[in-house]
Structure 1
Amino acid sequence: MVRHTPRLLLALCLATQPVCADEKQRKLQQELKSILEQMVTLQARVKELEARLAEHDNDTATESNSATKADSDEIESVRMPRAPDPRLAQLERDVKAAKNAPIRVGGAVRFQYVYQDYAQGNKDRGGDVDFDLIRLDFNGEIGDVILAAQYRWFQYMEAVQKAYVGYNLSKFWQAQVGIINVPFGNLPYNSHNYFFSSNFYAGLEDNPETGANLRYRSEKWEWDLGFYKNGEQGGVDGFVSNRDDRYAYDPVGIRIAGEGIFDAPSEPMAQNNSWALRGARKFTLSVDSNLELGLSVQHGDLHNGSNSVGERSVLGGHLRYNKGPWELMAMASRYDYDLAQENEGVVMGAYAYFDTMPARATLYTLNLAYDLPVSWGPVTNLRFYDNYSLMSAKSGLSDDTFMNVLGMAVSAGGLYTYFDLVTAQNHPFVGGSMGVDGGDTNTRFNINFGYYF
């Protein structure tokens, strides 16, 4: 819009008026002059308001520009690195450490109910409830070095179950050094029940020694190669107070004529510089069934602390078949203690007592199990099983050893409970020994409650 200056308009009006105007005309001119002066004042007021409005617009624009810059700075701060916050840096280090060093501490507390028809006092009382064990487990890795360790405290002894370090050499290969299980047969166990199989009492199931393992695992193959310098107690003259305080059975002496089957050995002996090789081929038969077949070999020296007193050799073959909830395990093995002196067998030590087994024997195991998932409060699974073991062709003895365990295992949160009905003849922990003839057939009912964490 075009604006005109009021003084210019007044000059034009006066210039057009006649020189000899009358009084009326002069009054009109005065009124016009007054109106024009008001217009000048109004224009000044308008200019003042326009100036203030312009100033307000500038302030608004400045604030808008500042906000835009702040937004831009915020965006830029996301794009551009800032100076490191020491608290954030420490938090990142803590998170990294938590991810790379998860040494997990776990364990178990177990107690049990026992009824033995071969122990008159226990039978008369209707069985007994006693403490079994407390154990601690350490598992994990720091800087790619694996740790696995377990220690157990019983009422009557304490013992290490395993303690080794390992390293994954590749996707398939792993090396382990320390107190570690000797690979043999079905792994990790050749049984489903609390009492294992008879192989355990001959030192052929879940048996730790001090040495090194090299393991290979793939979809189709398992290979284990191990060298063991001596047992977990440091050899025949290791610095231990009781050579029978062991988690698993090991040869600790030679049983000579005239000694009782449960006596401490007068002729000490232990394994030395032993080797183990295990191979297994796995077959996928269908979506829910698979088969594993394998062979195991062990060989090593026997030492009395001063000299070699013989050699120990073991050969075994195993089978494991899974189909859905069913599992079938079978195994046959033969062990031979070729001793340089006459003997009545081999002294075995474990669980704070000594026992005797023949110097040579053949073992057979056959196990069947069925898993039933359930949803009964905390109970999530029931495992039903029947495990059978037989030791025959025993050197110097005519009677066989057998054990049958019919049972059920219940999973309920951290609680794992075995219900075992054990029937056996000439068997450790069931009123007998593998090193004798003529034993009775005994029955033991056992409920072992274990809380694992």
Structure 2
Amino acid sequence: MKPTSVALALATLVSLNTSEAVAQDAETAAELKAVMQQLQQLQQRVIELEQKLAEQSDSAATTTTTATTNATANQQVEQVAARRQAKSSALAARVERLEEDVQAAQNDPIRIGGAVRMQYKWEDYNDPLKDRGGDFEFDLVRIDYSGEIGDVVLSAQYRWFQYMDTVQHAWVGYNFSEQWQGQLGVTKVPFGITPYNSNSYFFSSNFYVGLEDDHDLGAKLLYRSSDWDFDVAFFKGDEMGGVNGLSPSKADRYAYDALGVRLAGEGLYDDPTALVAESNSVALRAARKYDLAADKSVEIGASWQFGDMNNGTDNIGERQAWAVHGVYNINRWTLMGQVTQYDYDMELAEQGIVVGAYAYYDTIPSKATLYSANLAYSLPVQWGPVTNLTFYNDFSLMTNKRFYSEDTVMNVLGVAVSAGGLYTYFDLVTARNQPFVGGSMSGDSKQTNTRFNVNIGYYF
């Protein structure tokens, strides 16, 4: 290889290795710039020597002295190139170390994200709101924390609404291997289709009885492989500390939990007088995954949970729930289905279980069966900032309600629009005896209500 080619290759290598570091750190950039200037000067000197060698080579045929000089010059060039190569290799190693130092300094171990959401709503069961043409209102601000320090994983989320603020989840974890992870703290209860048994902003009816996207305080062990998901968890209590928790309002929480026993004569939305909370619960979930083709897959699973109900002093009952569930994906279509049953066996005479979330109380039957079936179609598009449209229909049915005869029904027809950091739900909800759509899970109404909702969220 010619000396010029060696020098050019070395200069190019160092230039490529230094480009990222220069872009990332101003101080490192100055140091690397000086290195590049030195290499350019050395390269120019090698070129001059090569040119001199070429001139001497032209006269080599007529004089032996010139040939001797030419050989000497060639040796000088080779010596210079060798010295430059050694120095360039050392400089390249130094640049690589600088790149690693800059990269490590700029990769913070904990990442901070979040969301800001607002919404428009129109309800046919709310005459004043109908007269105003609906309302546009603030929904929430949330902050997310995630990452690793050492070998310890962190994940947490806190939410602020107009009427309350609350933790959604907060746990630390450890990766025992590529398949096994442990979590400790306010972590998600493994139950049913995950991460959600729904496509819409309103979840399914399972959410309103505490069996979808619920988080409690305890420990969980997860196994993930290409074929299987396994979860086993133990929860000491709910995320707010149960009956003896220090929260001023038990209903100021993100997800629904049992908070009391509904006694005869109390209204469906009254504050509970007989307090109760989940205690010492065990949850198990297993799902088998199959890849049927490049664009086709299916997941079939089962979930079960069991625990005590405690009034702050004694256990006064117990609860259990089970579900079988499946997800089928083919091309852009997704079909989800789940059957769920839960049962609260209480020592007190009751008319249902008081649950709470979003700063208000509701009543659920102490036993019921739920069915859900959801269909979604994902359509990639290029409409300015809009990159995807997800069309869906989510259906939920709650039946066999202990002490209550009328079913709870909810159907959500909608589309979710992705546009950069914006994610917007357009939902048309038709429901009967459904919270947030003019009813209660224990309602006995025969009337169907309609709500149109647009939730706009910016996620970062």
Within 5 A, what are the aligned runs for 1:339-354? 339-354=346-361
Amino acid at match of 1:350: A
- How far is 1:71 from its partner? 4.2
The aligned counterpart of 1:428 is: 435
Residue from 270, 276, 285 that aligns with 2:283: 276
CA-to-aligned-CA distance 1:56-112 (integer Å, 9 cap, x gap): x99999999877655443333355x69x98x9977744422445x442211111101
2-structure distance, mates of 1:107, 1:445 = 26
Deviating more after overlay: 313-322 vs 159-168 = 159-168
Name the SS for the 2:206 alignment partner.
Answer: helix
The aligned counterpart of 2:241 is: 234
- How far is 1:286 from its partner? 2.1
Within 5 A, what are the aligned runs for 1:24-423? 71-78=81-88, 92-99=100-107, 101-423=108-430
2-structure distance, mates of 1:397, 1:246 = 26
Q: How many residues align?
A: 398
2-structure distance, mates of 1:255, 1:124 = 35
Is the Cα contact below 8 Å between 1:432 and 1:439 reproduced in 2? Answer: no
Is the Cα contact below 8 Å between 1:118 and 1:431 reproduced in 2? Answer: yes
1-structure distance, mates of 2:319, 2:352 = 13
Please list every run of 5 or more consecutive structure 1 residues that lacks an aligned counterpart in the other structure: 1-56
Larger Rg: 1
- How far is 1:133 from its partner? 0.5
Amino acid at match of 2:151: D
Is the Cα contact below 8 Å between 1:302 and 1:311 reproduced in 2? Answer: yes
2-structure distance, mates of 1:307, 1:437 = 33
Deviating more after overlay: 249-258 vs 89-98 = 89-98
* TM-score normalised to structure 2 length: 0.81
Name the SS for the 2:119 alignment partner.
Answer: strand
Q: Quote the RMSD (CA, aligned, Å).
A: 2.5
Please list every run of 5 or more consecutive structure 2 residues that lacks an aligned counterpart in the other structure: 1-66
Change (3 A) 1:91 1:374: closer
- How far is 1:369 from its partner? 0.6
CA-to-aligned-CA distance 1:99-141 (integer Å, 9 cap, x gap): 5x44221111110100000111001111010000011111222
Name the SS for the 2:243 alignment partner.
Answer: coil
Name the SS for the 1:152 alignment partner.
Answer: strand
- Percent identity between the two aligned chains: 54
* TM-score normalised to structure 1 length: 0.82
